[in-house]
Amino acid sequence: MKRRGAAWQLFWAFFRVGIFGFGGGPAMIPLVRAEVVTRHHWLTDEEFADVLAIGNTLPGPIATKMPGYIGYRVAGVTGCIAAVVAIILPMIVAMIIMLGIFSRYRDVAWIRGMGQAVVPVVMVMMAQLTWDFFDKSKAALGWWVSIAMAVVAAGLIYWLGIHPGWVIGAILVAALLRPSGTKPTGAKKAEGNA
C-alpha cells in the first residue's frame, strides 16, 4: 500500500515535469531536481548530482533515464514505470492527436501552407543546435580536430554511405579503449578504420 502511494506520488511529480519541461531533456533537469530533491526528498543534493553524472555516462535521453532510475529506487519496478510513463505519455498523445488532425486536412491549401512555413523555423532550431554542439566541441577538442573529425565523418556517412552507427560506434570504442592522457586526435584514425 505504501509502495502504491509512492508510485502515485512519482507519477504526479514526473507528470508535472513532463508538462512544464520545455526545451528537451537537458533543459528539464532543474525541474526534476525541484520535484525529487526539494519537494519529495527522494534524493539528497549529492545523490541527485551522482545520478545525473551516472546518467551522462550512458547514451540516450537523460529525461527518461533519471525518472526511471529514481522511480525504481523509490518504489521498485512499479515506480520506474509510473515515473517514465508520466513524463513521456501525455505529450506523445498530444503529438498523435494534433498531427493526426493536421495531416487529415493536408489537402486544404492554407493548412499545407502552415506545414511549409514551419520548415524554416525547424531549420533555424537545428542550426542553433549545430552551433551549440560545434561550440562545445571546439571547447573540448579545438577547432581543427573538431572540423577534421566532422569532415571525415561526413565523407564516411554521406559520401561512402556508411551507416552513422558504425562511425559513431568506432569512435566510442576508440575513446573507451585508448589509454587516458593522450591527445584526442586518435579518433580520426579510428574512424578511418571503421
Partner 1 sequence: MIYWELFLAFFIPNIIGYGGGPAIIPLIEAEVVGRYDWMTAQTFAETLALGNALPSPIATKMAGYVGYEVAGIGGAIIAVVATVVPTLLLMLGALGLLYRHRDSPRVKRMSQWVRPVIAMMMAWLTLGFLLESLNSSGAIHTLIIGAVAAIALIRFNTHPAFVVMGALVYGGLFLG
Considering only residues 41 to 80 of the shown chain, the ones binding partner 1 according to CB under 8 A are 50, 53-65, 68-69, 72, 80
DSSP 159: I
Query: Which residue, 40 or 184, has its beta carbon nearer to partner 1?
Result: 184
Least separation, in Å, of the C-beta of 12 and partner 1?
15
Phi, psi of 106 (to 5 degrees): -60, -25
> Does residue 109 touch partner 1 according to CB under 8 A?
yes
* Diameter of the chain measured on Cα atoms: 60
How far is CA 32 from each of CA 29, 47, 90, rounded to the nearest angstrom? 5, 13, 17
CB 21 within 8 Å of CB 28:
yes
The answer to whether the beta carbons of residues 106 and 115 sit under 8 Å apart is yes
Number of residues near partner 1 (by CB under 8 A): 95
Binder of partner 1 out of 159, 160, 176, 193 (CB under 8 A) = 176
Residue ranges in 78-107 that form contacts with partner 1 under rule CB under 8 A: 80, 84, 87-88, 90-92, 94-96, 98-99, 102-103
- Residues 154 to 173: which contact partner 1 by CB under 8 A? 154, 157-158, 163-165, 167-169, 171-172
